[in-house]
Amino acid sequence: MDVLYSNIKINSCNNVSVVRRAVWRGRGFASMKIPKGNEQRATISFDGDVIVETDTLDNIVMGLGTDHIDFLKIDIEGAEAEAIHGMKETLKITKYLMIELRPSTLWMVEEFINNLNHEIIDCVNHGAVTNFLFLNRKE
């Protein structure tokens, strides 16, 4: 979190809200494993180091009073298949979605997003993961 707060300050970002919750399929708590010196690789895990509060992206976005999202980037280290269940309303108001997916979750997440009238307009394969860019056809 220190890196995030530092970047917000350095870049004078006045339109950023930091929400200290893990995006998941519902409200609650989960165990998170945070590799030493590499917060960016933190994952929900049964053998985690810390307990974190979880919530759906829909709840978080609604709580912020957001009614339109131009671009949403989701890179949540393999939790996409769980978190996607709590993003249905958020994706309806999102024009562009970039999401990082692993082969094990690709079919489920892609089908869910396509059913919400989004279409893939680009993708970049990085080996173990692929970044997909979706466009909301109803937006």
Domain ranges of the chain: 2-136
Fold of domain 2-136: Rossmann fold (3.40.50)
Q: Give the strand pairing for 28-33 and 43-44.
A: antiparallel
> Would the pLDDT of 15 be above 90?
no
Computed on alpha carbons and rounded to an integer, the radius of gyration of the chain in Å comes to 15
Q: Are 59 and 90 in contact (CB under 8 A)?
A: no
Q: Are 33 and 41 in contact (CB under 8 A)?
A: no
Instruction: Summarize the confidence of residues 47-65 as an average pLDDT.
Output: 92
- pTM for the structure as a whole: 0.84
Any bridge partners for residue 124, and if so which? Answer: 131
pLDDT band for position 64 (cuts 50, 70, 90): very high
| Alpha helices for the chain (secondary structure H) | 2-10, 57-64, 80-83, 88-92, 103-114
Residue 39 pLDDT: 64
Lowest mean pLDDT among 31-35, 73-77, 90-94, 96-100: 31-35
The identity of residue 66, as a single letter, is T
Q: Which two tokens stand for residue 121?
A: 């307009």
